[in-house]
Structure 1
Amino acid sequence: MSLNKSNFRVIPNGINIKSFLEIDDSIWNIVKDYGLLNKFPLILSPINILERKNIEFSLKLINKLKKYYPNIFYMISGKASQHRDTQTYFESIFEMVNKLGLNENILFLSKKFQHSLANSELHDLYDLSDVIFYFSKSENFGIPILEAGATKTPIFTSDIAIFKEIGKDNIFHLDTDDSENASRLIFNFFESNKAGLLFKDVKMNYNLETIIKEKLVPLL
C-alpha cells in the first residue's frame, strides 16, 4: 500500500525559548503582545529619551530598512524626564514616528512599564534583540557597549571618541551624518551574519510553544 505524503504533516521539534533564555514574565508578555518572535530585525536602544541620544537618526535608519524588512521592530527601553526641553524632544520624536508611518514598528517601553527596568528585564531584551542601536551625540561613557559585549549582542554606535575607546574595533561605528550609507552597512550585516540568521529562524520556526499552538493543536 502506497502512502500519499500530502496526507502527512511533519511537526518539527523545538525549544522553549522563554525557558531556555530565562525570560522574565514581564518581558515575555511584551513578546506575546507584540509578536516579537516574528519580528526581524528586532532592534533595541537601551537609552533614556534625551536629545543627545539622537533617536531621530535611529528612526531614519528604521525607515530606510523597512523597505527590505517590513516586520522590523525598534524598542526604546528608557523614559523621558519631566523637564520641559525633554518633553518637547519626546513630542518631536512622536511626530517623526507618525510622519514616517512607523507606528507599528516602534515601541516605547515606558508606555508599558511604570518602573525602571530591572537588570534581568534589560538582559532579556538584549538576549532577544538582533542588534543594539546607540547613536549618542555625546557621552561620558557607554554602558550599553559593555552590556552588548556581555550578552554577545552586536551593537552599532555613533563614531564619537569615547565609543571608539571602549569598543575599539569590536563594534560597528557609523557616521550619523550619512543615514543612506549607514543603512546599507546595517543591511549587509543582517544579510551576512549567519549567527543572526540562525537566531531569526529559531525564533520564528522552532519555538515549542508556537509549534504546539499552530501545528499540533489544530490536528487534535
Structure 2
Amino acid sequence: MTVKTVLIYALKVIGIILGVVIIYVLLGLLIPYIPVSAKDDGEKKDIPIYIYTNGVHTDIVMPVRNDLKDWSLMIPFADTKSKKTDYNYVGIGWGDKGFYLDTPTWADLKFSTAVKAAFWLSDSAMHCTYYYTMKEGEDCKMIMISRNQYENLVKFVEDKFDKDQNGKFMLIPTDAVYGDNDAFYDAKGTYSFLYTCNTWSNNALKAAGQKAALWTPSDFGIFQHYK
C-alpha cells in the first residue's frame, strides 16, 4: 500500500467522521423544534414539578413527598452529606456514570470519558439532589400537572433506577457529590450521543403528558418549548 493510498483512505475516514458530526449537530439543532403537544387529561392540575438545568444536565424536580409518593423512602436523606430531613423538593436526572462522577466541570472532561459516553461503552447513574425552594428563571420552569400525570411521571423516573433484591435503590459510594444535598445511584440503560441525559428528561415530560421536543440531545431542546 502506497503512501498516497494511505492518505486517501485517511482523508475518506476523516471526511466520514466530520460528515456524521455535522449531520448530528444539524439534527440536534433542528429536530428539537418539532413539538410534542401536552395532553390534557381533564383533571385538575395541582401538583407542581420543575425542569431545571445546570447548563449541561436537565433534571426533573418533584415534591419530596405528597400522598402519592414519598421519595425520601427510596432516596434517604441519610445518603446525602447534610443528612437534613426538611427539604421540600428532589431533583432527579439520569446520565452517564463517568460524566457524573468524573466530570464535575467541563475542564475535568477526559477524552476517554467522552468516547465511552458517546458510544454506549459505560454505565449510567441517577443523580438526586434535594432542595428547600425552587426559583423560576431561564434555567428553571414550573409545570402544574394532574395527579394521574404525576403518577405516570413517578413510574417513568422510578423505573430507571437499578434496584437490589429488596427493591431498594442502589447508592453509589463516592466523594464526587456536587454539594451537601445530593447523592448518586446505579441506573438502567446506557448513555450515548443519541440518548443523553436531556433526552431522558425530555422523555420524562412526554410520560407526564407535557410539552416536549420530538427528540433532543440538549437542554435547549427542552427549554425552548417553555419560554
TM over 0.5: no
TM-score normalised to structure 1 length: 0.31
Structure with the largest fraction of strand: 2
Q: Looking at both structures, which has the greater relative contact order when contacts are Cα pairs under 8 Å and sequence separation is at least 6? A: 2
Which is richer in helix? 1
Give the structure-2-normalised TM-score: 0.30
